[in-house]
Each structure stands twice: as structure tokens, then as C-alpha cells.
Amino acid sequence: MNENSRNLTLDDDPQVATEPAQRDTSGGDKAWLWANWVLAVLTVPAAALVMIFALGAVMSTAACSAQQCPDLGPHGISFGVLFYGAPVVAAVVIGLSFFTARARWGIAVPLAGLALLVADVVTLAVTVVQ
């Protein structure tokens, strides 16, 4: 008797043995791991899009002066943080995913990174684009 044959049940025919159906739970874990890494890697192109959007937003204000556009720009947070923070967020998400990808809550890391990148675009859109 081994681990696989411990729970055998016998039918009316003594030569036919059936095992109860065993559920393979490793497939679901692999799906979460793949989803985690896909989202983590997607932060890189998302960060590139944030930087392109930021450059476009700033270039669209090239003709503005303080008199023409008095409420232009983010107040309280510098443009450098919004611009250079995007690739830092992507790098931190990928770095942390090496440690958290197999954890049950590990998918929160890339989701939080993507949320920060979306917040970055929203902040740029509200403060710079007119």
C-alpha cells in the first residue's frame, strides 16, 4: 500500500478498483504566478507610456508663460517626480515580484504599481494639460 492507493474503493467486481477523483490545485497556482509576472512586466511599457504622455504634456505648454497660463503645472509635487518616478515604479515592482510572486497576496504588488502609474497620468492630465 502506498500513498496513491490508500483511498481505493472496490466495486462489486473485486478486480475493479477506483480511486476518488483528486483535484490538482497546482494549475491554479501557476495561473496566478503567470498573471503576477505578466502584470509586473506590463509596468515597463506602462511606465514608457507615462513618460511619453508627460513629455507631450510639457511640450504642449511650450508657448505658455506665467501670464498666459497662471495655473499651469503640478502644485506641491515636482514634474521630475512625476516623470522619473514612472520607471522607478516599474523597476521596484519587478524587483519586489521576485520575492512576492509566489505569495497569495503577491499580485497586489504589480496591481499597486499599475495604480501608481495611472495616478501619475491622472495627475499630469489634471495639472499640465489644459
The model's pLDDT over 10-36, given as tens digits with 9 standing for 90+, comes to 555 555 555 555 554 556 678 888 999
The model's pLDDT over 52-110, given as tens digits with 9 standing for 90+, comes to 999 988 887 777 766 777 666 656 577 888 899 999 999 999 999 999 988 888 899 99
State the DSSP string of 10-30. Answer: E-SSTT-EEPPP----HHHHH
Cα gap 7→25, rounded to integer Å: 19
Q: Is the pTM of this model over 0.75?
A: no
**What mean pLDDT value characterizes the chain?**
80
pLDDT value, residue 78:
79
Alpha-carbon torsion (75, 81, 83, 87), positive or negative: negative
- Give the start-to-end residue ranges of the domains of the chain: 25-127
